[in-house]
Amino acid sequence: MASYADPSSDERVEQVEWAESGGGPLIAIPEVVLPFWSGADGDELASDYDRACEVDGLIGLLPVGNTTALVLGDEPAATAYLPEHGTFVRWSAGESERELPAGVPAALATAAWGREVHWQVPGTVVLFDAAWPGSGATRAGHLRIALEPGRYAVRAAHGEPGPETWIGLVQLRPLGR
Question: Which pLDDT band, with edges at 50, 70 and 90, does 116 fall under?
Answer: very high
How far apart are the C-alpha atoms of 132 and 48, rounded to whole Å? 10
d(CA 152, CA 64): 17
Q: Could you name the CATH architecture of 16-174?
A: Sandwich (2.60)
* Residue 152 and residue 172 in contact, taking contact as beta carbons nearer than 8 Å: yes
- The model's pLDDT over 12-57, given as tens digits with 9 standing for 90+, comes to 346 788 888 888 899 999 999 999 999 988 666 779 999 999 998 9
Single pTM value for the model? 0.86
